[in-house]
């Protein structure tokens, strides 16, 4: 009857992406809550940690694929609650460098430990191969979407 080779599959995948995105954010908020952190906040801290050295806000934003301003605001909040610290940048008077504070690092590590526990639970039900295939497919879709409509800035 209807043409099963057109957009139905992509519609379904889009729906699935929206739903799983929401579920991931909710889970991230839950495991960060005991430390006063949210998904957005500890993801930023994770990007700082992953870099291995102090980063500027703009560098972190690029690594996360977010706007500079969005990361800047989260970072300001994190500094207020003492989770990160700003260091002077010898190479740039305005662009200070972000590092996780000792307290921030402790919180982040506990969150990562909890996330690792949850990951193991989740992966008991989901074959690693399927997750890897999905990653590859979603990345390909992302590239195709960006190719059709490049983001500004």
Around Cβ 59, how many Cβ atoms within 10 Å?
A: 18
Select from DNA, a second copy, none the partner in contact with residue 94, using the beta carbon and a kind-dependent cut-off of 5 to 8 Å: DNA
Nearer to DNA, 30 or 132 (CB): 30
73 binds a second copy (CB under 8 A): no
140 binds DNA (CB under 7 A): no
Dist CA 134 CA 87 (whole Å): 39
**Span of 51-59, 78-86, 94-102, 110-118 interacting with a second copy by CB under 8 A:** 110-118
Around Cβ 89, how many Cβ atoms within 10 Å?
A: 15
Q: Are 46 and 63 in contact (CB under 8 A)?
A: no
What is the distance, to the nearest Å, from the Cα of residue 141 to the centroid of all Cα atoms in its chain? 18
Cβ neighbours of residue 89 closer than 8 Å, sequence gap 6 or more: 54, 56, 95, 96, 97
Binding mask 80-109 for DNA (x = CB under 7 A): -----------xxxxxx-------------
Burial class of residue 86 in the structure, from the number of CB atoms within 10 Å of its CB (0-12 exposed, 13-18 middle, 19+ buried): middle
Nearer to a second copy, 58 or 138 (CB): 138
Site for DNA in 53-82 (CB under 7 A): 56-59, 65-70, 72-74, 76-77
- Strand 84-89 with 92-100, pairing: antiparallel
Site for a second copy in 5-64 (CB under 8 A): 5-7, 9-24, 26-27, 30
Nearer to DNA, 92 or 106 (CB): 92
Interacting residue ranges for DNA, rule: CB under 7 A:
22, 26, 38-41, 43, 56-59, 65-70, 72-74, 76-77, 91-96, 151-153
């Amino acid at each position: 009857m209807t043409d099963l080779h057109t957009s139905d599959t992509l519609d379904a995948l889009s729906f699935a992406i929206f739903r799983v995105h929401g579920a991931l954010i909710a889970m991230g908020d839950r495991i960060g809550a005991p430390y006063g952190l949210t998904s957005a906040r500890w993801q930023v801290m994770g990007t700082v940690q992953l870099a291995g050295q102090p980063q500027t806000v703009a560098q972190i934003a690029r690594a996360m694929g977010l706007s500079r301003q969005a990361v800047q605001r989260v970072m300001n909040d994190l500094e207020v609650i003492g989770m990160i610290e700003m260091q002077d940048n010898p190479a740039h008077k305005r662009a200070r460098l972000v590092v996780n504070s000792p307290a921030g690092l402790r919180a982040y590590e506990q969150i990562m430990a909890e996330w690792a526990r949850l990951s193991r639970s989740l992966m008991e039900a989901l074959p690693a191969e399927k997750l890897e295939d999905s990653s590859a497919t979603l990345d390909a879709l992302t590239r195709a979407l960006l190719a059709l409509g490049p983001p500004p800035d």
